[in-house]
Structure 1
């Protein structure tokens, strides 16, 4: 449902696009709506039910003296109930998009029981050109790709494997320097960065622990790539997985931080 035409950001469209990307929802073209209510009190229940539209999101965005006020309600037309609703009384213009993503997260959870990730950010690497003349950029953006910001530029040297810290403040990544690689951590709030590992051979595949206190990495300082743990400040490096002449890489934490998964060819092929 449109949230009003005076908003600096298309809140209704943002919510619709978020939900559509999940594959769990089939948004209806607004031109097929039987009415355009702004609250549950204005809903004509039968008009929506006969069109097999089972959930309706209504809301409004209005400017007030301190910014913008944003309201929404999720309506179950089959049971004639309001499933959830929320009011944001003071939203800055720059935060309207984030509020829309938060609403989409709530709707996804209320309808499917699944947690959403719309109110999160992407970190990715872009490349322009080829070879030594290529320019690599580490970019962060909203979950829908909106508002890309370059946080690091590297000319001729690849950037690999960006990984967010759980607090959404830091990104660990691998940066080439000639034939050498190093693992760095970049604080996107302060724009400071520091080196975690630069040993002989491979330094790569950083993965943050769920508590943000350490990283799992793949290093070949002793020969073949092995899995190591290192504190978030680069201290206390220790090897935790190693088999002679096997390649261990791409570590990934379990959600509770108790287990590490990784790829290894110790069985003959990568598994």
Structure 2
């Protein structure tokens, strides 16, 4: 069964079409890399799939639940937005305890799960420090734990390695692959093409709200015009007609109406 499936999924903001007739079928237990230049519609797509915004047309299901059924979908998905909702005056552990309560985990189960995940990310020793004192990498690790704390069926990650040092980025990449190997489906939106090449089972490339290419990374590379040395970046640039600087880790998705906030975990 497909973990994520959409038919004709469309989102308009006035005359602007942010997502245009999107067709997806993503199998369970896979990592799906979602690529596109700034403003392509990636974040809007993720908000549609997590029920944070409603489609103008079309339909979709995630973990077998209609994306319009927010109440039923909420416990089945985890979401790491590009700007994670973190309370800086809380400790890392307090932040995660709060989220665990929102996810209806018992205190005992929450503590066990939090400690296990923090240890797995080499953050347990800093769990009682204020988030205000955390580095970018430490904050991102807390946000990652926040997204997977309740063991969701499908996890949506928006730029999970952006701004991280190589060691922290490698840790997150390994955990993403580990999630899929354990049966969780990961929908990974990023500008950092090597991350997708390293962990994705399949890749979709979005341009102007439309899915312009989809397939296994190596299959897409064979479409590149660069010959024997073709890369996923060559495919990306060919299909989206953007400068290479737009595919770097400094990029930011500027989809209209997509300010990320605490509703990603609260609602």
Aligning the two structures, in what range does the TM-score lie when normalised by the shorter sequence?
under 0.3
- State the TM-score, normalizing by the size of structure 1: 0.24
Instruction: Give the helix-richer structure, 1 or 2.
Output: 2
Question: Which fold has the larger relative contact order, with Cα–Cα distance below 8 Å and residues 6 or more apart in sequence?
Answer: 2
Larger-Rg structure: 1
Instruction: Give the strand-richer structure, 1 or 2.
Output: 1
